Amino acid sequence: MKGLPRTFYTLLFAQFISTLVDNAFLIVAIARVLELQAGAWLIPILKVGFTLFYVVLAPVVGALADAFPKGRVMVVSNLLKILAIALMAFGLDPVWAITLAGFGAAGYAPAKYGLITELLPPKDLVKANGFFEGATVCAVILGTVVGGALVSPWVSALVVPSWITALPVTDSAYVLSMLALIALNVTAVVLSLCILDNGARYVQHSFHPWELVQRFFKENAVLWRDTLGGLSMSVTTLLWGVGATLQLIVLRWAQETLQLPLNQAAYLQGVTAIGVIAGAALASRMVSLERTPKLLPLGVFLGLSIPLLLLVSSLVQAVCLLILVGAMAGFFVVPMNALLQHRGATLLTAGRSIAVQGFNENAGMLAVLCMYSLVTALDLAFGVLIFGFGVLVSCAMLLIGWRHRQIFRTTIG
């Protein structure tokens, strides 16, 4: 990774802090839902709320990321997330608060990923994504750990300073936790302010809503019709939905099967991310863009490994299995993500291609999370849910592989 511009490392650190806060915020929001004694089906709705604007605003955020310096777009996004956490501290319902945070985060993704493609040549994208995904997953680990610590009994038992109680804040046990998240997000804002304008400029298009939507879906079709773009988009869309839902499944499984409280279940959730780091590191060294399509069978094995949770009865077994699942996911998703970024930047522009990618991946997340929320509300047996989820993932990967071979044969013919 020699010769990378300093801005890349600043971006890396800003992304690390921002992702850490997002994951810690989710744990605190879950704790707040439980504190309010709301229905269990609302927990996946928290993730739905955070993801919603990634889909709704997708036609707009890519154009905005290309219209302004991307570091400034990241600043505004983080300020909106600070506002969301502050409003929850003042009593706003956690679902609405995390939805507002998602509104801010929606503009963050095209800016941060667009910067990678602007700063680096194609030959460095897999390695850079290995670094970026590794840092992101480290932030997920630390974020879940920080979130678990913030909802632990010792934090709730701390005396709230008088200057805080003088404010019209909620009487929640997690007010100090929310203030800690605000302080961390302020750090992300400062780092984003340090990201210099790299001078990349694109042809300016109309910001009329209807024209934006029309152009966005034309660009969406361009990526889907591309052989490699469509393949990588299919895989990353599926994996984002799987990852978001698996995060909640692991939390519930740790609480119900291993009888762990929420803060300790959050720590166990972060174990999966350790495996992702290892897999991402291996992929960045071993897999080139040209070899990426050959990884498709690994996705089938990833799905088949999920039902193994039903056979686990101890903490040690759980840690080993979650690391293995994470390693397969990391080794698989990093090259696919790099391939999609490369094809997107080649066919479209950095910002708009990331917006298209984000739309599809987050739409996949919404679909799978809504299904999970529905089966939770219907009180489906948890064992059946886990088994069915794993089989669904494997079948979907088989279908993607079959479809890719058909398209490839047609193209060659």
Q: 397-412 pLDDT, tens per residue? A: 888 888 777 665 554 4
d(Cα 134, Cα 147) in Å, to the nearest integer? 19
Task: Check whether 149 has a pLDDT greater than 80.
Answer: yes
Place of tokens 């019209």: 168
15 has pLDDT over 70: yes
Q: How many CB atoms lie within 10 A of CB 164?
A: 12
Domain with 176 in it: 7-191+215-412
> What element of type H or E holds 176?
helix 175-193
124-129: average pLDDT: 68
Q: Residue 239 pLDDT more than 70?
A: yes
Give percent of the chain with pLDDT exceeding 90: 9
Task: Classify residue 289 by its DSSP letter.
Answer: G
Tens-place pLDDT, residues 333-368: 777 877 777 787 778 766 667 778 878 888 888 888
The verdict on residue 204 lying in a domain is no
For residue 254, the model assigns a pLDDT of 85
> Does some domain include residue 198?
no
d(CA 361, CA 101): 18
Query: Is residue 2 in some structural domain?
Result: no
Domain count, the chain: 1
C-alpha distances in Å from residue 339, one per residue of 109, 165, 276, 305, 333: 17, 51, 18, 25, 10
Q: Which two tokens stand for residue 147?
A: 């979130």
Contact of 383 with 310, CB cutoff 8 Å: yes
Report yes or no on 207 lying in a domain: no
For range 96-125, the mean pLDDT? 79
pLDDT by residue (tens digit) across 315-335?
Answer: 888 888 888 888 888 787 777
Is 182 within the bounds of a domain? yes
What are the φ and ψ backbone dihedral angles of 379, each rounded to 5 degrees? Answer: 60, 40
What pLDDT does residue 338 have?
Answer: 75
The whole-chain average pLDDT of the chain stands at 80
CB 71 within 8 A of CB 197: yes
Q: 350 with 118: CB under 8 angstroms?
A: yes
Three-state DSSP state, 166: coil
Does 295 fall in a domain?
yes
Distance CA 247, CA 16 (A): 18
Is residue 167 one of the residues assigned to a domain? Answer: yes
CATH number of the domain where residue 156 is located: 1.20.1250.20
- % residues pLDDT > 70 (the chain): 86
Kindly state the average pLDDT of the residues 181-187.
93
Query: Which SS3 state, helix, strand or coil, does residue 281 take?
Result: helix
Length, in residues, of the chain: 413
DSSP secondary structure letters along 231-298: HHHHHHHHHHHHHHHHHHHHHHHHHHTS---HHHHHHHHHHHHHHHHHHHHHHHHH--GGGGGGGHHH
197 lies in a domain?
no
Distant-in-sequence, close-in-space partners of 371: CB < 8 Å, separation ≥ 6: none
